[in-house]
């Protein structure tokens, strides 16, 4: 079932959202100082490309650097990518088939705005007791 949802997602918005993340990642990798932002953006591009069957969990090892990175990320790229998610969700919600996709799109906004200190894992590899933030 998740393969079908991922294929529908890919056709109706996932490709363009992932492309936005890749573009943000390329821009971030231009400067050496912002390479961690580029890596985070590429990680989220993979999630935006094929989200169903994955879960976002918190990383217990994240520290103050993650918090500072999240603030900078939100100002520079997170807000704009979140607007892309909202816009895509509105377009997807117009049809009945697109409503589950729109809901999944809105669930992705927290990791879009604050990617540091979070990890995206496959549902099949999820360990018992992991602190699940949300499931798409």
pLDDT at 55: 84
Helix intervals (H) in 1-136 = 2-9, 15-30, 35-49, 64-73, 79-92, 99-107, 109-113
> How many domains does one find in the chain?
1
β-bridge partners, 73:
none
Q: Which domain holds residue 72?
A: 2-135
SS3 for 122? strand
Say what the pTM is. 0.82
pLDDT at 122: 82
pLDDT at 2: 82
pLDDT at 135: 57
Reading the chain (136 residues) residue by residue, the pLDDT tens digits are: 788 888 988 988 889 989 989 998 999 999 888 999 999 999 999 999 988 888 888 887 878 888 999 999 999 889 998 999 999 999 999 988 889 889 989 989 999 999 998 888 887 777 666 666 655 5
pLDDT at 82: 93
pLDDT at 134: 55
Buried b (16+ CB within 10 A) or exposed e, 89-111: beebbeeeebeebbebbbbbbeb
pLDDT at 100: 87
């Amino acid at each position: 079932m998740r393969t079908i949802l991922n294929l529908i997602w890919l056709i109706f918005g996932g490709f363009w959202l992932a492309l936005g993340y890749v573009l943000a990642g390329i821009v971030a990798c231009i400067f050496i100082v912002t390479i961690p932002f580029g890596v985070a953006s590429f990680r989220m591009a993979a999630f935006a490309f094929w989200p169903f069957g994955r879960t976002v969990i918190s990383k217990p090892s994240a520290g103050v650097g993650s918090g500072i990175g999240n603030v900078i990320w939100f100002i520079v790229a997170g807000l704009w990518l979140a607007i892309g998610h909202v816009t895509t969700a509105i377009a997807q919600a117009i049809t009945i088939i697109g409503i589950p996709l729109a809901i999944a799109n809105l669930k992705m906004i927290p990791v879009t705005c604050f990617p540091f200190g979070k990890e995206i894992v496959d549902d099949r590899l999820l360990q018992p007791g992991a602190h699940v933030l949300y499931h798409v």
